[in-house]
Amino acid sequence: MTFIVISGLSGSGKSTALKTLEDADYFATDNLPPELWGALGDLAAARSIDRVAVTTDARTRDFLAALDSSLSRLKQRRLDVRVLFLEADSEVLLRRYNLTRREHPLGDPSLMLDFRRERDLLAPLRAVSDTVIDTTTFSAADLNKRLLDWLNITSSFDLRLFTFGFKHAPPRDVDLVLDMRTLPNPFYSPELREKTGLDADVAAYVFQDGASEAFYQHTLTFLRDVAERAHTGGRHSYNVAIGCTGGQHRSVAVAARLERDLTDLGARIIDHRDMPTQGG
């Protein structure tokens, strides 16, 4: 079992770090006193959970006296224990606090005094840390990448494709809507009307000429760029709705082709919302 302890200064990115590990399939718990680490490790092992992450910081200051003994007990259980400490310049911490308007856990009248006291308070944790990361110049995405590199975890990405018909209203819970209504419409071909965009002859009709192919290539390039930017920005998934008039022909054909052309970005069709399950 890998047991990660995240600590550091308030405002240095502990919440972001814990969320990153949670997204990487760690069982994540915030603000857990050291004396409870062993119990959590035992519970996780009993349930075959092999990745655990906890945060401990100034909020648990009344329990930090048990730090050394708690770490020793974890290591005696033959766990892979790693301690990560995050810090940043006080001026940067001050700017971050001014943006969030949160109260510092130490509650002094001066935030700068809080930061100095906190550094002293958490010095024992910093001293036993395996890795110290200074997040002064980091964005959330930078910290996310640094942590995944530290743990040798490949960041997965899920590009989810949905199709729909505009006459049934676009979905509201997606990141991007693409309109395919300018492509040739198989609905006006009697032999294709009852079929769907999953049929080869319908897809051939949709992409029948150079203008249609050029439009698809522009769509493919745009979606790749948007998805890669989302991934680089720290997103683990991105939802794209592809629409045509009825949601049966053009949007389905385009989604099927995008799924094939964007496999490297984890593209997969989740739902053809308005496509008939059978012809008709």
* Residue 280 confidence (pLDDT): 35
Enumerate the domain spans of the chain: 2-151, 158-272
Nearest to 100 by CA among 8, 6, 5, 12: 12
Q: Is the pLDDT of residue 111 over 90?
A: no
* Residue 279 confidence (pLDDT): 42
Residue 248 neighbours by CB distance under 10 Å: 26
* Residue 108 confidence (pLDDT): 67
Compute the distance between CA of residue 136 and CA of residue 228 in angstroms, rounded to an integer: 25
Fold of 2-151: Rossmann fold (3.40.50)
Compute the distance between CA of residue 255 and CA of residue 267 in angstroms, rounded to an integer: 10
Residues annotated as binding site?
Answer: 8-15, 57-60
Residues annotated as binding site for GTP?
Answer: 57-60
The per-residue pLDDT for range 157-212, each reduced to its tens digit, is 899 999 999 999 999 999 999 999 999 999 999 999 999 999 999 999 999 999 99
Question: Is 40:54 a contact under the CB 8 Å cutoff?
Answer: yes
Using pLDDT thresholds of 50, 70 and 90, give the confidence band for residue 114: confident
Question: Is 33:66 a contact under the CB 8 Å cutoff?
Answer: yes
Tell the residue number behind the tokens 């496999």, with chain if given.
Answer: 263
| Helix (H) / strand (E) containing 123 | helix 123-127
Tell the residue number behind the tokens 């290539």, with chain if given.
Answer: 217
Q: Is the pLDDT of residue 100 over 90?
A: no
The per-residue pLDDT for range 135-147, each reduced to its tens digit, is 999 998 889 889 9
Q: What is the mean pLDDT of residues 46-65?
A: 91
Mean of all residue pLDDT scores within the chain: 91
Distant-in-sequence, close-in-space partners of 262: CB < 8 Å, separation ≥ 6: 159, 220, 223, 224, 227
Q: Is the pLDDT of residue 148 over 60?
A: yes
Q: Is the pLDDT of residue 104 over 50?
A: yes
Q: Is the pLDDT of residue 59 over 60?
A: yes
Q: Which amino acid is at 136?
A: T
pTM of the model: 0.67
Residues annotated as binding site for ATP?
Answer: 8-15
